[in-house]
Amino acid sequence: MTANLLDFDLEGLAAFCERLGEKRFRATQLFRWIHQKGATDFDQMSDLAKSLREKLKGTACLVALPVMSRHDSADGTIKWLFDVGGGNAVETVFIPEDDRGTLCISSQAGCAVGCRFCSTGHQGFSRNLSTGEIIYQLWFAEHSLRQHMGTQERVISNVVMMGMGEPLQNYSALVPALRVMLDDHGYGLSRRRVTVSTSGVVPMMDRLGEDCPVALAVSLHAPNDALRDDLVPLNRKYPLAELLGACDRYLAHAPRDFITLEYCMLDGVNDQSEQARELVAMVRGHGHRGLSCKINLIPFNPFPVSGLKRSSPANVADFARILQDAGIVTTVRKTRGDDIDAACGQLAGDVVDRTRVAERIARQRSTGLSGIRVVAKEA
């Protein structure tokens, strides 16, 4: 069996090197070649002995995901659609800003949570991505953007696990991927620049706090259980009191002293002043001193079958003011890339034209990353 080197965090790669009869520190060199330099050929890895390079050629590869499409938004946002086989596709979005470059990564093909306002949720669940498939999105974006911009400098400064899927329902693949992002020999991102967004998988929030406490965003969307049960079905399993309790516990490990609560603004559904006051009471009333949080209001990005509408800017502003007046730090998310359907919750990737995919894959196989054996997955 050929190992996909993108599946390993540094610890896993060290174990792999040991199995090849090599010293563990070789893994650090190999890891740096792959993630820091974006090497695509074992023969490029000049500080590795020829014998090791030969061994690697026989036992290891780097599995690429074929790019099905790339869309560039007028605002600089770039969206890639990757083929993950079996008629499934996932999306990755790069969002450039003045002081940062954020990559929004997918964790699953589809999603089992089924939130009413989310196009991925409407698609249903197909499968978990592997660690290698999660990391490939970062590897590919970082190194192709560098090449594109003609720079050796780091392009991606922040990662948000806010693409398709519920990251905490793919925990075992997620954590090694986060470790690669954080590792100084990998992407060297600080824990506060990597954000996991969750719809509220309470037990896994606790585990993440123990295993790999990166920044946490919790998708709240409602100020009471009745409404949240309807919008985020997972709430029936982990209701608000439990969710807020998990947020509190996470704070003991979090890289920042607050949790971000995301709230998608749906016209006439969850955007009324009364609901803003209910939200204030809920957050303030939690525990002894209330929950330490910031609230991020996300204007709903409509998609055809949702039957929901975006709140008016006036309603969003009123809602935000009520929270701010109560002393809760509140921001309204700028919508980026909506001209290419790259905005939150518009990541669909459902209609896969198989002929087109097959052609693309054939082309990528022949032009694929040189040297390292790239195994393109079948559509």
**Residue 91 appears among annotated catalytic residues:** yes
**Residue 212 appears among annotated catalytic residues:** no
Nearer to ligand SF4, 66 or 165 (CB): 165
Candidate residues 65, 254, 261, 344; the one interacting with ligand SAH per rule CB under 6 A: 344
209 three-state secondary structure: helix
Catalytic residue among 22, 91, 133, 262: 91
- The CA dihedral of 28, 30, 33, 34, to the nearest 10 degrees, is -110
CB of residue 168 to ligand SF4, shortest distance in Å = 9
> Sign (positive/negative) of CA torsion 135, 86, 109, 339?
positive
Nearer to ligand SAH, 135 or 264 (CB): 264
Nearer to ligand SAH, 176 or 345 (CB): 345
Nearer to ligand SF4, 168 or 194 (CB): 168
Report the distance separating Cα 31 and Cα 13, nearest Å.
8
Nearer to ligand SF4, 165 or 290 (CB): 165
Contact between 117 and ligand SAH (CB under 6 A)?
Answer: yes
Which residue, among 133, 253, 134, 135, has the nearest Cα to 186 in the 3D structure? 135
Contact between 235 and ligand SAH (CB under 6 A)?
Answer: no
Contact between 4 and ligand SAH (CB under 6 A)?
Answer: no
Q: Residue 105 in contact with residue 116, Cβ under 8 Å?
A: no
Report the distance separating Cα 206 and Cα 192, nearest Å.
17
Candidate residues 91, 262, 271, 341; the one interacting with ligand SAH per rule CB under 6 A: 262
String of contacts with ligand SAH for each residue 151-190, x by CB under 6 A = -----------x---x------------------------
Task: Read off the tokens for 46.
Answer: 């000049």
- The CA dihedral of 134, 137, 140, 145, to the nearest 10 degrees, is -140
94: Cα within 13 Å, side-chain hemisphere: 23
- Give me Rg for the CA atoms of the chain: 21
190 three-state secondary structure: coil
CB of residue 375 to ligand SF4, shortest distance in Å = 28
Helix, strand, coil percentages (3-state) for the chain, rounded to 5, are: 40, 20, 40
CB of residue 124 to ligand SF4, shortest distance in Å = 10
Nearer to ligand SF4, 130 or 346 (CB): 346
CB of residue 193 to ligand SF4, shortest distance in Å = 21
Contact region for ligand SAH (CB under 6 A) — 194-202, 207-215, 314-322, 369-377? 194-202
CB of residue 287 to ligand SAH, shortest distance in Å = 23
Helical spans, DSSP H, in 217-312? 225-231, 240-251, 273-285
Contact between 345 and ligand SAH (CB under 6 A)?
Answer: yes
- Residue appearing with tokens 């998990």: 246
Report the distance separating Cα 277 and Cα 216, nearest Å.
24
Residues annotated as catalytic are 91, 344
Residues lying near ligand SAH in the complex (CB under 6 A) are found at: 117-118, 162, 166, 197-199, 219, 262, 264, 298, 300-301, 344-345
